[in-house]
Amino acid sequence: MTAFSYNVLHNTNGDPVPIELGEEILRTVLDAGPVLDALILELCQEDDRFPNLSTFFQAVRHYFAHLLPEKIEHDYFGQPIDPIIVQSQRWMTFENEFSRDVHRLIVAEGQHQNAIYFPNPTHEHHPESLFNIQPFVQRHPIITKSTPIASAGSCFAIEISQHLQASGFNYVVAEREPFWRAISKYPESSAAWGRIFNTPSFRQLADKAAGKIKLPDYEIYNINNECWEEPFRESVFYKSKKDLIDSRVPHNVACRQVFKKADVMIITLGLNEAWQHKRTGYFASNNPTFASYYALFRHRVLSYQENLDALNNMIDTLRSINPALKFIVSVSPIPFLATGLSDHTHVVVANSRSKAMLQTVAEEFVRTHDGVYYFPSYEMVTNCIENPWAADQRHVKPEAVAKVMQMFEEMFVAD
């Protein structure tokens, strides 16, 4: 058996430990049985009072250290695990966990205190404004100017793609939008997959690129823009119906090319409400635009598990195309344009619930996959930038976007 390693406990030299507390700690950590009974008898007599927790922990440690060598010397392989060894391991685990917990709210050397404590500009010793911080702790320098980067998502994903291209990053473009609102000389995304607002549409994008699915074919004339579009690629407009039909096969090829070429994929999660195709179960990438959509699609509020399953399926499929593909995930700060729940929920409340759901899903998605990182653009805009909103109070001012992308480079760019 290897020697036990105990963390140094710096904050356990405070109040005395009465016998009742010592016994309660032992009963919390150790299993009921002869070892626990013997420790209580040894350490928790009526006249015992340890000056502090460190002394009490040391006494328990000493008890196990006295018994273990003799036990190990007389044991041999194949024997059942002795209760002394089991309980000593439980105590070791407890001390290590205790050491971590007792330091959770203490600012370590070199650690910014506002990673623990909410910024307070009126603090007597450490005044700090919320508007002067970037809400991240760890850097993940996975990008250089030469790293092939792709992106997809809602409106804020467009802001990210525009910044990356304007700043000279190696942004992957396999297909340009054929006809679009000219907001920039740069494409909105890496292929003409349009704006993606819900997690099932990310899964569908991956499955489409892998050749696993064929989405229903609908060509709808947009009288406002005098062009043709389809519900599964929002804001991708074609001048003729034939152009739209002819684009589908090369578009799928372009999607696959993006995922094979990119080293890093940036996705922004937008909405938790979605519209599902009644016949096939596939999802439109945005809200219905015309009356005919309502005949074909039903309104859905996606559950936590549906959102998480969609992202898990997406990453499995895309990594079957490119096993080394890394992901940067964020939640779009741009609120709902409209909610389908207005018979009982205000759009402001629906938006808050949607963003909270997506934040929780993103956290679990990052936690359970290697090479997946969270980018707190939502938190930066909604908390750490003073007056970030444009005149419509939904979209983000260019100077606010610049601050968000400055944080992006701080977090992810190696050079």
The domain limits of the chain are 17-102, 149-412
Closest CA to 25 of 50, 2, 6, 7: 50
pLDDT of 191:
95
Closest CA to 203 of 329, 374, 318: 318
Q: Is the CB of residue 325 less than 8 Å from the CB of residue 265?
A: yes
Mean pLDDT by groups of 10 residues along the chain of 415 residues: 33 70 94 89 78 90 78 47 83 94 76 78 89 93 97 91 94 86 75 95 97 93 88 91 95 97 97 96 87 90 98 98 98 93 96 97 98 97 96 94 96 92
268 pairs with which residues across the strands? 153, 330
Architecture of domain 149-412: 3-Layer(aba) Sandwich (3.40)
pLDDT of 163:
93
pLDDT of 141:
97
pLDDT of 246:
96
Tell me the pTM: 0.86
Q: What is the DSSP string of 11-63?
A: S--SS-EEHHHHHHHHHHHSPSSHHHHHHHHHH--TT-EESSHHHHHHHHHHH
